[in-house]
A and B are shown apart, each in its own frame.
Chain A
Amino acid sequence: AQSVTQLGSHVSVSEGALVLLRCNYSSSVPPYLFWYVQYPNQGLQLLLKYTSAATLVKGINGFEAEFKKSETSFHLTKPSAHMSDAAEYFCAVSRRSNDYKLSFGAGTTVTVRA
């Protein structure tokens, strides 16, 4: 079975500071990994996905994530936080690229201080 663990349910950063959100996965097969963002009262939007091509994946809004098999991690980063980055972020895993059955982590809420 596939699962993900997000370390830290809340992260607070200053505007302009680095954003780092941690995700570790557990998978019996090579995983497909995703980061989604959810703004208040909205659905989820895909930030980026790893599907076994490049280990460093660039997404929308300046976010990127690095797949590290040795650490079973897929941490999300953004060099400089913006007030608009305040949202909830979910890491997710699936067995296949076209599985569409995702297992989500519990989420990390990001607040950005002016």
Chain B
Amino acid sequence: DAGVTQSPTHLIKTRGQQVTLRCSPKSGHDTVSWYQQALGQGPQFIFQYYEEEERQRGNFPDRFSGHQFPNYSSELNVNALLLGDSALYLCASSATRLNTGELFFGEGSRLTVL
């Protein structure tokens, strides 16, 4: 049973560019959440998708957007990249119908903005 998979694992972009990160949830999970983890800090909640809709959103600007597909996979898009967007982006999946409160995290996509 594959866990949460993310791609790419590492990428380098320059300021002003756009990036798309991808996530496949754990089998049987229907909810995907995205977190940003800056170096030396705890993860910060970006947003959450359920039934192809953004269900909750953290305190991030509109440059951060996402999408969930019918197969529950998800994308995170960041436009007009800033140096401060350099971080590890974590995808976490969960099964809303099971109500366990447990998130399963992927290994992350490390974004470096130059």
Q: How far is the CB of A101 from chain B (nearest CB, A)?
A: 5
Residues of A within 8 A of B42 (CB): 90, 92, 104-107
- A32 CB to closest chain B CB, in angstroms? 6
Of the 9-residue stretches A12-20, A36-44, A67-75, A76-84, which lies at the interface with chain B?
A36-44
- List residues of A (44-64) whose CB comes within 8 Å of B's CBs: 44-46, 49, 51
Interfacial chain A residues near B33, Cβ < 8 Å: 100-101
Chain A residues, Cβ within 8 Å of B96: 98, 100
| Nearest Cβ on chain A to B67's Cβ, whole angstroms | 18
With an 8 A cutoff between CB atoms, is A26 at the interface? Answer: no
Picked from B44, B102, B106, the residue with its CB within 8 Å of the CB of A104 is B44
Counting chain B residues whose Cβ lies within 8 A of the other chain, the interface size class is 20 to 34
A9's closest neighbor in chain B, by CB? Answer: B40
Q: Which listed residue (A98, A101, A106) contacts B99, Cβ 8 A?
A: A98
Are B41 and A100 within 8 A (Cβ)? no
| Among A41, A42, A46, A98, residue most surrounded by chain B Cβ atoms (within 10 Å) | A98
A107 in contact with B94 given A41-B107, A43-B4, A100-B33 (CB within 8 Å): no
The residue in chain B whose Cβ has the minimal distance to the Cβ of A34 is B101
Contacts A51-B101, A94-B101, A106-B42 known; A101 to B56 CB distance under 8 Å? yes
Instruction: For B56, list chain A residues within 8 Å (CB).
Output: 101
Quick check: is B78 within 8 A (CB to CB) of the other chain? no
Task: Please indicate the chain A residues that have their CB under 8 angstroms from the CB of B100 in the complex.
Answer: 97-98
- Residues from chain B with a CB closer than 8 A to the CB of A104 are 42-44
Q: Considering the complex, which residues of chain B in the window 20-40 have a beta carbon less than 8 Å from any beta carbon of chain A?
A: 31, 33, 40
Smallest CB gap from B33: residue in A:
A100
User: For the complex, what is the distance from the CA of A104 to the CA of B100, rounded to whole Å?
Assistant: 18
CB distance from A3 to the nearest CB of B (A): 11
Distance of A105 Cα from B42 Cα, bound (Å): 6
Mark each residue of chain A from 91 to 114: 1 if its CB lies under 8 Å from any CB of chain B, else 0.
010101111111111110000000
User: Could you list which residues of chain A lie within 8 angstroms of chain B, going by C-beta atoms?
Assistant: 32, 34, 36, 41-46, 49, 51, 90, 92, 94, 96-107
